[in-house]
Structure 1
Amino acid sequence: MKMGFLGRTCLIVLSLLPAVSTQGGWRVVGSDQPVIAEPGDDVILPCHISPRLSAVDMEVRWYRDRFDTPVHLYLNKKDQPRRQDIPYRGRTALSPSALQTGDISLHLRNLQPADWGIYKCYADDGSWNEEGQTEVIVTALGTQPSISMESTQGEQSRLVCRSEGWYPEPEVTWRDRDGNNVTSLSSTTLLSDSQGLLSVSSYIKIKQQSNVFSCLVRSKIPKPDWESKLHISSDFFPGVSGWMVAFFLTLALSIAVIPLLVIQWRRMDAMERKLEPMGK
């Protein structure tokens, strides 16, 4: 009875080790910080395989909303431009040398306002697949606003504030000569050009020409905070893989449980000895 209890417990613990050791696999890591750039820029969307493995023989797919309409597709050791979403043809690339080290970052040329969004990077080696994501934010600061006065016969005079070349839609603020915010009294219209950039025109009626007004046009996207981080990847320690960490963690837990099993065994042994005289 005593050996049976210990034996069954040890068998259960040991049976878990192979299951844990085979659950390692690799993962795809995108970027936790958005890529912020202006229209026309060339950008790199970070993404890599961890731990570092060659992706040369894998399927690598970048897509946005639809998996079957990729932004970029690498399959059978070559790019597949004919299966690519039309707006991205001729604008994307993967680095062949980087693929050898598991770097599947996407090079995106001539950034457009329509490129704003979440991009998912997917890798598949035939038996395992994972995906990460990277966000792209497209922002353009327009021209300095100009104010002019419009006056038509029979209508109240109004000031017009104009600025162009913005993306996304900017925020317009009107203030009177005392610094009061009078934006609620204004109306604003937007026009989009062939490149998707916005021109803004904001109007506000005035009662006296002697009033002084100011017009502020600014981006709704706050400037990113500068922050320093030191990230030590598991790739820095090539001798330690995910399954090895899981194996040794399980082994350590097993060793920690042994004293508890011994204590329990001693208690059961003492109880048996007390019960033996009663059995006789």
Structure 2
Amino acid sequence: MPVLVNRVNTCWGAFVYVALLDSILRVGTIKVTVPEGRLTAVRGRTTILGCEFTPEPGSDLANLVVTWQRQEDLHVVHSYYYQQDQLDRQSAEYHGRTSLFYSELSKGNASLRIIDVGPRDVGRYQCMVSTSSGTDKAEIQLDYGVFYTEPRLSISFSAKKVSVQYEAEGFPKPDVKWLGEQGQNLSHHTEVLEGVDGDIGLYHLKSSYEADTPALNITFVLRNELLHQDLQRPVSFSYADDSSNGVVITLALSCVVLIIIVLILSWLYWKKRT
């Protein structure tokens, strides 16, 4: 009897060992990878969160489970199993905005397409894939940006100064400079307002430079580092000083009045003589 018990224990131990070994091997045979670095999405466009996994040769996808989740709030972005999307588990903010590349799943492509990207989509996304070979996951960071619009120029004059201003909209906050004729940095006033008219995820930029010279040769520089957008707009003009013009006009009028007075006096003198 003890011999039989020992044999049963030995067989059970061997079974457990094989089961554990099989589990380890199964987990190790699937690998999920995502692109390195940070992915930047542009406002209103479609972006693709890349994700690849080790495919099973000849698999019919019956055991495939793909889950995309945003890590900051643990919202389910997209869920797929039983060979179909499981949209009842999807967070409401992603309804109608996500899809997988279904014909590519058998090739190991679990990438996610998100349309109409906005600031609410920024965050870390986890791609988790399960097959009969095991489970693995990886994370990708999604950022958001908006190309700045063509800067709008306005120029205003006062008695002693001229003011040059540019306005534009974009995201995130840009690096702004005003450069002189020799490329030197000029002091300026820049104001950036967020969410103008309730438009979240958009900055309204106003940047101005003032000078007390009648001639300008300067350059406005705006750089959106996130989207590698670099705008340079030169401004070159000269204008006449209104005060000097006033002096010239006053002198001219005085001369005309003096000539008229001399002519009248001459006529009166001639009239009296005759």
Structure that is richer in strand per residue? 2
For 1:112-261, list aligned pairs within 5 A.
112-125=118-131, 128-150=134-156, 158-164=163-169, 166-183=170-187, 185-192=188-195, 194=199, 196-221=201-226, 223=228
- In structure 2, stretches of 5+ residues that fail to align are 1-16, 230-274
Q: Greater relative contact order: 1 or 2 (C-alpha under 8 angstroms, separation 6 or more)?
A: 1
Distance 2:227 2:45 in 1: 19
For the pair shown, which has the larger CA radius of gyration, 1 or 2? 2
TM-score (norm 1): 0.60
Cα–Cα, structure 1 residues 203 and 44, in superposed 2: closer, same or farther, change >3 Å?
A: same
Cα–Cα, structure 1 residues 207 and 85, in superposed 2: closer, same or farther, change >3 Å?
A: farther
TM-score (norm 2): 0.61
Cα–Cα, structure 1 residues 147 and 68, in superposed 2: closer, same or farther, change >3 Å?
A: closer
Aligned length: 205
Cα–Cα, structure 1 residues 70 and 221, in superposed 2: closer, same or farther, change >3 Å?
A: same
Task: Give the fraction of aligned pairs with identical amino acids, expressed as a percent.
Answer: 25
Distance 1:67 1:77 in 2: 26
Question: What is the Cα-based RMSD across aligned positions, in Å?
Answer: 3.4
Tell me, yes or no, if the aligned pair for 1:27 and 1:51 is still in contact at 8 Å.
no
Larger displacement relative to structure 2 (75-84 or 19-28): 19-28
CA offset at residue 20 of structure 1? 9.8
1:65 alignment partner in structure 2:
71
Divergent runs of 4+, >6 A = none
CA offset at residue 163 of structure 1? 1.4
Distance 2:107 2:113 in 1: 16
Secondary structure of the 1:136 match is strand
Tell me which amino acid in the other structure corresponds to 1:143. Answer: T
Tell me, yes or no, if the aligned pair for 2:55 and 2:106 is still in contact at 8 Å.
no
Secondary structure of the 1:160 match is strand
